[in-house]
Structure 1
Amino acid sequence: MEGLYQLKVHSRIHKLQNNIAIGSMPPHALIIEDAPEYLSNVLRFFSSKKTIKEAEVYLSDNTNLSSNEINLLLGDLIENEIIVKQNYDSNNRYSRHSLYYEMIDANAENAQKILAEKTVGLVGMGGIGSNVAMNLAAAGVGKLIFSDGDTIELSNLTRQYLYKEDQVGLSKVESAKEQLQLLNSEVELIPVCESISGEELFDNHFSECDFVVLSADSPFFVHEWINNAALKYGFSYSNAGYIETYGAIGPLVIPGETACYECYKDKGDLYLYSDNKEEFSVNLNESFQAPSYGPLNAMVSSIQANEVIRHLLGLKTKTSGKRLLINSEIYKIHEENFEKKNNCLCSDIKGEKLSKNTLNSDKELHEVYIEERESDSFNSILLDKTMSKLVKINKEETKILDIGCATGEQALYFANKGAKVTAVDISDDMLKVLDKKASNINAGSIKTMRGNIESIEVNDTFNYIVCNNILDYLPEIDRTLRKLNMFLKNDGTLIVTIPHPVKDGGGWRKDYYNGKWNYEEFILKDYFNEGLIEKSREDKNGETVIKSIKTYHRTTETYFNSFTDAGFKVVSLLEPQPLSTVSETHPILFEKCSRIPYFQVFVLKKEDRHAI
């Protein structure tokens, strides 16, 4: 605990009766209830930098705490980051930005160093480009390269705050260099006095950029040119501008990670009527002038600049593979998501300048499952308690077939209750974890088998067969269900769990703020459209850990009919809900699975074909 400690400079602290409130907004806010009387004075003492030794002397002189209690108190203040090793220097030009980075859990000192090493290009220095340039120069981005062939017009000054009246008629880029140099002399500024005429602009001037902002919509082919250059040189880029009264930011294209222009260009309305790019490039209104509005311009520019900085720092960006449309009249934000095409050129791109935004994107499903299954998964908070109620174990004779046992949490529960369990899974890694755990069983037994449900052969019949989240991986399930019918004793029970068809028929619209993911609404898209789907997997914090898992979506009706066709009758259908305590232990998981059903559980018996 050496060094100087201080309260976080950005933390407001108030004594409210017997409580102390630190900060104002979650997740940074903290309430200390029934705080001891001396604590407010201790916190005030740390308003300036102090050594721990100085604090110990202060506490010894001003409280009745013992030496051990003083050490525990100071340790708690440090552990909970109420006092920190504070390097805040009010004379540093970036000091207020550093406080912001600290609040969003970014290393403030490293953040400024990273920005100083980055190069950002701006294609177009009109209302968007010039304002983004001001934000980036003020933030300390190391090098800005900006291109525009136009001169300043009086009508520009409603929104292009970088320029002044006495500069009307002068080159935009030369004037921008002059003004930006006055704003921050530490930034390297490279003006390019050229209009966009072809892909050569990017080849000649922007190939070394880490990020490029495109704020020009003409000529028509500019989007293809910047996209080709991004795939060639590995830089990320984003579009920013207006669509009539809407501000538009994104999509942010990250080569090798997000959809590129070629993936989503045919989503536009014009493609409903033609695929002739030459027709798109001709505007019959030869006097067309796009409207511009200063306040809307400022909103778009600020959001775009924030996205650039977050991307450069490896923080999450809202517009990755997504476009935001801001209604300037009511401030409603619409989102357009763009997915990668499997056959697109960008599918083979592995750029060297990729963002750090994606967490654990290279993990395999079994790796994530092994890490999370026991206590940090929907299975653990929804299915385990359901299964324990459905399976009644007679220690003398209960035999259970656990298909898709994974790491064996349910198989272990059954065996410890006295059952004889045959556990089957396709993954060697999963079964190794189960085999290691199985050595501690003191009641029944577990026999593990490697194989998939379609090919496995078992020379036995069972009181219970548990088929956990397996059927949705199979393109055809009728033959498999008939096979399971053969494995089941006449009075036995088949328990089938599947990801709920409603959940797999849609997806969440979520937003990141207050330091966490917030799930705004669930949007049901294609419930009745059955077949192969591609979905992602998130961890307990809402971070995407696997971007693409392929399964087969079926409606409840299809599953029901498949069960009856295979000789089963449905005894009951369950949709497990989480306990209220899960909201405290796993708030993100609870937020999702308490609002929509995440699993369906079918309890099946053999149909008595001889019954009248």
Structure 2
Amino acid sequence: MLTDAELLRYSRQILLSQIDIEGQLRLKHAKALIVGLGGLGSPVALYLAAAGIGELHLADFDTVDMTNLQRQVIHDTTHVGRSKVDSALDRLQAINPEITYIAHRSALDADSLASAVGQVDVVLDCSDNFSTREAVNAACVSARRPLVSGAAIRLEGQLSVFDPRREESPCYHCLYGHGSEAELTCSEAGVIGPLVGLVGSLQALEALKLIAEFGSPLVGRLVLVDALTSRFRELKVRRDPACEVCGKRHAQ
């Protein structure tokens, strides 16, 4: 059941026929893991907390740096030098103290990542490097948890949903393979703040759609964002039957 306070707090989204009371209850009982509390993770965490996700797991081993503040809007100047998880917790608890927050302040290795993914209903990859994305994807495939993946650099962003519960869904590895050894980071190539805010907000929207079961999630579709021209492109993404990560799962 929803309390009177919850009915008031979430009234504007409950008014949507696609969500209603039933959808809000799904959100209340859901658990989500956010990997990375930087430019993408900031809007993801803010919007999922505000929407009433019952339990938010926050994973980041980094500390807040002055260079983060141009785009990582969940943090502020007074939190420079603090753990990003603790910095985010201050803001999130002020926005919505009624939900549960689980902190992961250390880097997640294979075992701890598998455990963290297994405890939640949906995972949002907001990390900034290929190796982490590959590890998160593998854990989601193994645990059969949907993964909302976003990335942004310079003036370009991308977003997709990989759902191993669906036979036709590709995984992250199907799309990107082994990646590139020359992969750049935002500290090397730069990035514009509103772009990560846009991609992160879309990630939060996709997670709400998966949990509350409305709309059409971006499964099998890759959205490309060109911030320079404000244009969006959508590409179809197919599962690779020979994929090293998800191929064996489908073959069973």
Normalising by the residue count of structure 2, what TM-score does the alignment of the two structures yield? 0.87
Q: Which residue number in structure 2 is paired with residue 115 of structure 1?
A: 27
Q: Which residue number in structure 2 is paired with residue 206 of structure 1?
A: 117
Q: Which residue number in structure 2 is paired with residue 341 of structure 1?
A: 240
Q: Which residue number in structure 2 is paired with residue 84 of structure 1?
A: none
Q: Which residue number in structure 2 is paired with residue 552 of structure 1?
A: none
Deviates more, 1:88-97 or 1:139-148: 88-97
Query: Which structure's CA Rg is the greater one?
Result: 1
Q: Displacement of 1:91 after TM fit?
A: 7.2
Letter in 2 for 1:185: P
| Deviation by residue 1:431-472 (Cα, 9 ceiling, x = unmatched) | xxxxxxxxxxxxxxxxxxxxxxxxxxxxxxxxxxxxxxxxxx
Q: 1:171 to 1:263 in 2, by over 3 A?
A: same
Count of matched residue positions in the alignment of Structure 1 and Structure 2 = 243
Paired residue for 2:170, among 254, 259, 270? Answer: 259
Q: 1:117 to 1:287 in 2, by over 3 A?
A: closer
Task: Verify: 1:223 aligned to 2:133, yes or no.
Answer: yes
State the alpha-carbon separation in 1 of the partners of residues 80 and 186 from structure 2. Answer: 22
Paired residue for 1:302, among 201, 207, 212? Answer: 201
Q: Displacement of 1:136 after TM fit?
A: 0.2
State the alpha-carbon separation in 1 of the partners of residues 198 and 172 from structure 2. Answer: 24
Tell me the C-alpha RMSD between the 2 structures. Answer: 2.5
Judge conservation of contact 2:154–2:192 (CA < 8 Å) in 1: no
State the alpha-carbon separation in 2 of the partners of residues 261 and 232 from structure 1. Answer: 13
Letter in 1 for 2:48: L
SS at match of 2:9: coil
State the alpha-carbon separation in 2 of the partners of residues 286 and 98 from structure 1. Answer: 39
Letter in 1 for 2:210: H
Task: Verify: 1:241 aligned to 2:151, yes or no.
Answer: yes
State the alpha-carbon separation in 1 of the partners of residues 227 and 41 from structure 2. Answer: 19
State the alpha-carbon separation in 2 of the partners of residues 91 and 226 from structure 1. Answer: 34
Q: Which residue number in structure 1 is paired with residue 222 of structure 2?
A: 323
| Deviation by residue 1:339-373 (Cα, 9 ceiling, x = unmatched) | 12334224247xxxxxxxxxxxxxxxxxxxxxxxx
Q: Which residue number in structure 1 is paired with residue 63 of structure 2?
A: 151
Judge conservation of contact 1:241–1:300 (CA < 8 Å) in 2: yes
State the alpha-carbon separation in 2 of the partners of residues 316 and 341 from structure 1. Answer: 25
SS at match of 2:102: strand
Q: 1:107 to 1:145 in 2, by over 3 A?
A: closer
Q: Which has the higher contact order (CA 8 A, sep 6+)?
A: 2
Q: Which residue number in structure 2 is paired with residue 93 of structure 1?
A: 9
Judge conservation of contact 2:29–2:54 (CA < 8 Å) in 1: yes
Judge conservation of contact 1:145–1:206 (CA < 8 Å) in 2: no
Q: 1:261 to 1:311 in 2, by over 3 A?
A: same
Letter in 2 for 1:296: L
Q: Which residue number in structure 2 is paired with residue 314 of structure 1?
A: 213
Q: 1:289 to 1:320 in 2, by over 3 A?
A: same
Paired residue for 2:54, among 142, 152, 155? Answer: 142
Judge conservation of contact 1:128–1:241 (CA < 8 Å) in 2: yes
State the alpha-carbon separation in 2 of the partners of residues 143 and 91 from structure 1. Answer: 18
Q: Displacement of 1:127 after TM fit?
A: 1.0
Q: 1:217 to 1:158 in 2, by over 3 A?
A: closer
State the alpha-carbon separation in 1 of the partners of residues 6 and 127 from structure 2. Answer: 38
Structure 1: gaps (5+ residues)? 1-87, 267-276, 350-612
Judge conservation of contact 1:341–1:347 (CA < 8 Å) in 2: no
Q: 1:286 to 1:95 in 2, by over 3 A?
A: closer
Q: Which residue number in structure 2 is paired with residue 165 of structure 1?
A: 77
Judge conservation of contact 1:321–1:337 (CA < 8 Å) in 2: yes
Judge conservation of contact 2:19–2:214 (CA < 8 Å) in 1: no
Task: Verify: 1:280 aligned to 2:184, yes or no.
Answer: no
Judge conservation of contact 1:208–1:233 (CA < 8 Å) in 2: no
Structure 2: gaps (5+ residues)? none
Judge conservation of contact 1:256–1:346 (CA < 8 Å) in 2: no
Of all paired residues, the percent bearing the same amino acid is: 27
Q: 1:118 to 1:91 in 2, by over 3 A?
A: closer
Q: 1:90 to 1:256 in 2, by over 3 A?
A: closer
| Deviation by residue 1:14-42 (Cα, 9 ceiling, x = unmatched) | xxxxxxxxxxxxxxxxxxxxxxxxxxxxx
State the alpha-carbon separation in 1 of the partners of residues 102 and 45 from structure 2. Answer: 12
Q: 1:190 to 1:164 in 2, by over 3 A?
A: same
Which structure dedicates a bigger proportion of its chain to strand? 1
Q: Displacement of 1:181 after TM fit?
A: 0.8
Q: Which residue number in structure 2 is paired with residue 370 of structure 1?
A: none
State the alpha-carbon separation in 2 of the partners of residues 217 and 120 from structure 1. Answer: 19
Q: Displacement of 1:138 after TM fit?
A: 0.1
State the alpha-carbon separation in 1 of the partners of residues 185 and 229 from structure 2. Answer: 31
Letter in 2 for 1:152: V
SS at match of 2:215: coil
Q: Displacement of 1:207 after TM fit?
A: 1.4
Q: Displacement of 1:149 after TM fit?
A: 1.0
Letter in 1 for 2:113: F
Normalising by the residue count of structure 1, what TM-score does the alignment of the two structures yield? 0.37
Q: Which residue number in structure 2 is paired with residue 332 of structure 1?
A: 231
